[in-house]
Amino acid sequence: MRFLTVMDPLPSVNPATDTTFAILEEAQARGHENLVCGLTDLRCEGRRGFARARPATVRRPSADDPSHAAVGAVVDVAFDDVDVVWMRKDPPVDDAYLSACLLLDRHDRSRTVVLNDPIGLRVAHEKLWALFADDLGPATMVSSSPRDLVAFVRARGRGVLKPLHLMGGIGVLAFSADDQNLRSAADLLTEDGRRPALAQEYLPEARHGDKRVIVLDGEPVGAVLRVPRNDEVRANLHAGAAAVRAEVDEHDRRICARLAPHLRELGLYLAGIDVIGGKLTEVNVTSPTGVQQIDRLDARAGPDRVIARIVDGAERKARRARGE
């Protein structure tokens, strides 16, 4: 098959942890052709979408050769001439990202599968979408008013403030009710009331870790616990958290059972839910990661690997789309 992956520049990813790298590696091992491009390489001409892409090969770095990727000359490829388009660009979900999702709509669904579906990516805001099931998570408020956010935290004694558009724990701050920086942080995150930010009840279980559960076609297939450093409130791997082996438990299954019909309806094939103390805090759909850590910590092999199951499902969807 032919795979086109829309992503951050391939040389910039970490081959030891990045899920997009693992997808490319698994596809390559199966004999599929990998093409890569960025958001600005997409265009449409009427109803047809195209990408200026580069053939890519990947490898695990070694002491003798630290490189992990090589790309060829630019080729112009129609979306309808590839089997699977992987939309794996990291946030921010800004105008450029949303415009790329609109361009990715310009494919023939009887010829090409886009994972995740660009319609679903436009709908399922990672911090806001799952609030339709607010009983699954901690108390949450979204507001452009610094006063609202400050009052929310003070009413609960402790809380977390988050920007809505970033990833990897960037801008996530925890405060007690009497913290003198609380109002200033609310002003900063809302740009003095010009954009919304999120306030969330602080979950003490966060000190023990934030569980990332990989969800494939609505089903939980593996989990990793991200344990924050002693000097950090954030449990993101980008922020230096440690990856610890974890099991999918009854709380995770209950959350997935509620979300699964909606994920499938929106074409959100590959997702990562974040769970703290049995409560849902985010649903990651743009470029969820954690797959390499799960496969490594669980010592998974062969078809039981999460990455193998991801590519298996993509192949099935591509064959089904073409009526094979």
Does residue 162 carry a catalytic annotation? yes
Of 34, 116, 236, 284, catalytic: 284
Distance CA 294, CA 222 (A): 6
Check if 65 is active-site: no
Exactly one of 234, 305, 309, 317 is catalytic; name it. 234
Number of C-beta neighbours around residue 230 at 10 A: 6
For residue 305, indicate whether it is catalytic.
no
CA 182: distance to chain centroid? 29
Identify whether 282 is a catalytic site residue: yes
Structure tokens at 319: 């064959």
Candidate list 18, 210, 252, 274, residue with the active-site label: 274
For residues 127 and 181, is the Cβ–Cβ distance under 8 A?
A: no
Tell me the C-alpha distance between 249 and 159, whole Å: 26
| Burial of 181 per CB tally in 10 Å (0-12, 13-18, 19+) | exposed
Specify whether the CB–CB gap between 56 and 10 falls below 8 A: yes
In the block, which residue shows the tokens 């959350």?
Answer: 255
Q: Is 89 among the residues known to form the active site?
A: no
> HSE of 300 in the Cβ direction (CA atoms, 13 Å)?
20
Residues labelled catalytic: 127, 162, 212, 226, 234, 274, 282, 284
